């Protein structure tokens, strides 16, 4: 007797549906956050509260770069991404990883 739940058509369909819905939500959230950051621009990102988060100029530049990456990742899902040459998002987002993951 096998231990754990064995895959069936129903469980695989449920997993596929769940992951697809999560990816859709993540893609939308990535594009929405990207648009918010880009709309703020360097001036808005470096402005202090209450007008902005008060980032340093270097951090604002990084935020704008990450916003572009997020927009591209969302665009991959929606079929609007144009990414040439190939790009390793895992490497670029590596600085955001939690140690040990």
Structure tokens at 82: 């144009």
User: Coil, strand or helix: which one is 37?
Assistant: helix
C-alpha dihedral sign at 87, 95, 37, 57: negative
pLDDT tens digits, one per residue of 29-59: 999 999 999 999 999 999 999 999 999 999 9
pTM: 0.76
Give pLDDT, residue 98: 60
Longest Cα–Cα distance of the chain, Å, equals: 63
pLDDT of residue 76: 87
> Are the C-beta atoms of 74 and 27 separated by less than 8 Å?
yes
The tokens of 35 are what?
Answer: 């648009």
């Amino acid at each position: 007797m096998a231990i754990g739940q064995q895959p069936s058509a129903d469980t695989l369909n449920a997993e596929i549906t769940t992951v697809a819905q999560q990816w859709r939500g993540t893609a939308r959230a990535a594009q929405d956050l990207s648009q918010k950051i880009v709309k703020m621009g360097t001036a808005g990102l470096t402005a202090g509260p209450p007008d902005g988060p008060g980032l340093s100029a270097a951090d604002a530049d990084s935020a704008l770069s990450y916003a572009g990456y997020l927009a591209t990742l969302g665009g991959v899902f929606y079929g609007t991404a144009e990414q040439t040459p190939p790009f390793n998002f895992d490497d670029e987002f590596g600085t955001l990883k939690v140690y040990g993951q």
